[in-house]
Amino acid sequence: MLQTFRGQFLGADELPEGLELLANPLGGNSAEDRARRVYDRKSGPGVTYDAFVIKLCREAGGRGRLVILVQHGGGHEIARLYHGPDPEAVAAGFLAMPERALYAALFSIWHSLRDTKETAETLTATDWRQATLDKRVRVSRQPAKGRAFVWIEPARIEGESEQQHELRRIFAKPAGVR
């Protein structure tokens, strides 16, 4: 899961509440630390990641899930990682990596999660836009219970029988809607 906090900035050594720092590969916001985040290439100019401070953290208490905290010009983002059956082994594996490799791995994981989130948001917006144009958005209000449900009724598929379409319509409704 990726949470974005746009416009909310943390101090150089500050962490959001409930997180404990495990690693801060390639340092924080100082000019010296930012200069360490330049990756030279075999040919051409190097690539700089000086705008991105990446920290590996653990959620305090509970399951102790690993978290990637990324601070950049737009604010900060928190990526919660699935920890698998042995979170301590996963944390130990990350912490055993050389500093530059750890930075690159955490950056790659965060960037993949961010791209996935943006793609899902774009596809969802496109689906709702098309459903609205096709007049397939349905609403069920239950004022006595203080609830309202909104869903997209599936479009008819070419060659689909009336029974198949009716089944798809029934299963598209949220639970609790008649």
Query: Radius of gyration over alpha carbons of the chain, in Å?
Result: 23
Residue 125, classed as helix, strand or coil, is: helix
Structure tokens given for 67: 């978290």
The rounded distance, in Å, linking the Cα atoms of 22 and 97 is 13
pLDDT of residue 46: 52
> Where exactly are the structural domains of the chain?
2-122, 134-172
Q: Which residues pair with 152 in a beta bridge?
A: 137
The pLDDT tens digits of the residues spanning 89-103 come to 888 999 999 988 998
| Model confidence, pTM | 0.73
Of residues 162 and 50, which shows the higher confidence score? Answer: 162
The rounded distance, in Å, linking the Cα atoms of 159 and 162 is 10
The pLDDT tens digits of the residues spanning 29-60 come to 666 666 665 666 666 655 566 677 888 998 88
Of residues 176 and 156, which shows the higher confidence score? Answer: 156
Segments of 24-108 assigned E as strands: 38-39, 47-48, 53-59, 66-72, 75-80
